[in-house]
Amino acid sequence: MTTLKLGRCFSRTAPSLARCITTGSTTGQDYGVGSSRSLQLDNPRIMITGSLGQLGQGLAKVLRNKYGRDNVIMSDIVKAPKHIHDMGPYLFADILDFKNLQEIIVNEGVDWMFHFSALLSAIGEHDVPLAIKVNIQGLHNVMELAKMYSLKLFIPSTIGAFGPESPKNPTPDFTIQRPKTIYGVAKVHAELLGEYYYHRFGVDFRSLRLPGVISGDTVPGGGTTDYACSIFDHALTQPDPFQCYLRPDTRLPMIYIDDCLRAIVEMMEVPAADLRMRTYNIAGLSFTPQELTEEVKRYIPNLEVSYRPDGRQEIADSWPQVFDDTNARNDWGWAHRYDMDKLVDIMFQVVTQRLGIRPMHKGSASAGR
């Protein structure tokens, strides 16, 4: 465990900080869901960790439109491009540095936190020690700070939180979870720790198990489901066949990013009393690489795809094929809007705009190929 040098009144481990900070009553009822401040805010101060990734930038835009530009603080550990700074507040935040996070929460008056900092599935398998630091140690810092400062906390979970022993079609909310990646192990840990902090300390922890998230706004980040994003860039710019690292019949749950972001915001706004669980499955659609390829060919008929499974195939084989999100639909009215047709249509619109090429229409011969 990383130790922290935080002055004479603090012990060397982060959890002991709670003894040195005046937060009013220290009973569980004064944290998280027991805090009237966290429940009644019309314009909460919001912090997003790992905000330069696939979800963070889109969520910041949605939240700023809803709660105000200056009330949403993006953060990450790298220098952000100019357009990010132009959009609103951006800060350096290292989730492994407890004091750094603490200073931001106190100085900026943070009320809600969306914790997106993590190494994804395939990347984590190449550097397990780093994944443990970022995905588990960072989680511990965030969870303790949520308890100390009565934060409403969202931490995404994943299809990777399940393993080969889990039922695959459909996969319910409550079933055996024995993931075989460090990413999945860390997510199960987050689910259980968040539920514990909710019951033990009243922390308003919320989580959604996300399918593979499909987005055309940013470059894919190395996840096992990212072929479903990469195929669009490749089809529009490369003449050679697209190499897919999964078998053509590998079915996985997916969701378009607009549906995903809407689900996250909707869940955060649901009154705590209406949530029967702290972690829910959400689903959009499920498809295979071969099925997606056929849909992409509606735009680019001469697209060719070769299938060369690599280490990500083993990961995908351990994951659900179809998510059962009945509880989310019943408890807080979740419903996806993008089916396969709408997904492919919007992806070509977004990717062509990002690449600066002419818009595509169904049946086009090629573009940049």
Give 222-233 as a DSSP string.
S-TTTHHHHHHH
Average pLDDT over residues 299-314: 95
Are 148 and 23 a contacting pair, CB within 8 Å?
Answer: yes
- Is 183 noted as a catalytic residue in this protein? yes
Please give the average per-residue pLDDT across 222-229, as a whole number: 87
Sort 15 into a burial class: Cβ within 10 Å, 0-12 / 13-18 / 19+.
Answer: middle
**Residue 340 scores a pLDDT above 80:** yes
| Confidence at 57, pLDDT banded by 50, 70, 90 | very high
Determine the average pLDDT of the residues in 334-357.
95
The pLDDT-based confidence of 358 (bands split at 50, 70, 90) is confident
pLDDT of 54 strictly over 90: no
Residue 316: alpha-carbon gap to chain centroid: 18
147-187 per-position pLDDT tens digit: 999 999 999 999 999 999 999 999 999 999 999 999 999 99
The per-residue pLDDT for 256 is 97
- Between 189 and 119, the higher pLDDT residue: 189
> Alpha-carbon distance 257 to 59, whole Å?
9
Mean pLDDT of 327-337: 97
Q: How large is the average pLDDT for residues 101-112?
A: 98
Q: Which of the two residues, 212 and 366, has the higher pLDDT score?
A: 212
Active-site option among 90, 149, 183, 198: 183
Give the per-residue pLDDT at 364: 60
- 90 touches 74 (CB < 8 A): yes
**pLDDT surpassing 50 at residue 353:** yes
* CA–CA separation, 342 and 348 (whole Å): 10
Q: How many CA atoms lie within 13 A of 144 on its CB side?
A: 21
Q: What is the DSSP string of 295-362?
A: HHTTT-TT--EEE---HHHHHHHTS-SSB--HHHHHHH-------HHHHHHHHHHHHHHHHT-PPP-T
**Distance from C-alpha of 328 to C-alpha of 145, rounded to nearest angstrom:** 27
Which pairing describes strands 279-281 and 305-307: parallel, antiparallel, or unpaired?
unpaired
**pLDDT for res 6:** 35
**pTM for the whole structure:** 0.85
pLDDT band at 218 (very low <50, low <70, confident <90, very high): confident
Band of pLDDT at residue 266, cut at 50, 70 and 90 = very high
The pLDDT value given to residue 41: 63
Q: Is the pLDDT score of 327 beyond 90?
A: yes
What is the pLDDT, as a whole number, of residue 7? 35
* Stretch 290-294: mean pLDDT: 98
Average pLDDT, stretch 351-355?
93
Torsion angle, CA of 19/24/30/36, rounded to 10 degrees?
Answer: -140
pLDDT at 122: 80
Q: Which amino acid is at 10?
A: F
Taking Cα atoms as reference points, which of 230, 207, 234 lies closest to residue 220?
230
For 258-282, what is the mean pLDDT?
Answer: 97
Tell me the pLDDT tens digit for each residue of 73-87.
Answer: 999 999 999 999 999
- Strand-pairing partners, residue 205, are 153
Poorest-pLDDT segment among 37-46, 225-234, 293-302, 323-332: 37-46
Is the model's pLDDT at 20 over the cut of 50? Answer: no
**Summary mean pLDDT of the chain:** 88
Q: Give whole-number Cα distances, 351 to 58, 224, 233, 363, in Å.
A: 15, 20, 7, 17
Residue 87, pLDDT score: 96
Give the closest residue to 344 by CA, choosing from 364, 326, 329, 324.
364
Give the integer Cα–Cα distance in Å for 299 and 234. Answer: 13
Q: Distance between CA atoms of 151 and 149, rounded to whole angstroms?
A: 6
Summarize the confidence of residues 333-338 as an average pLDDT: 97
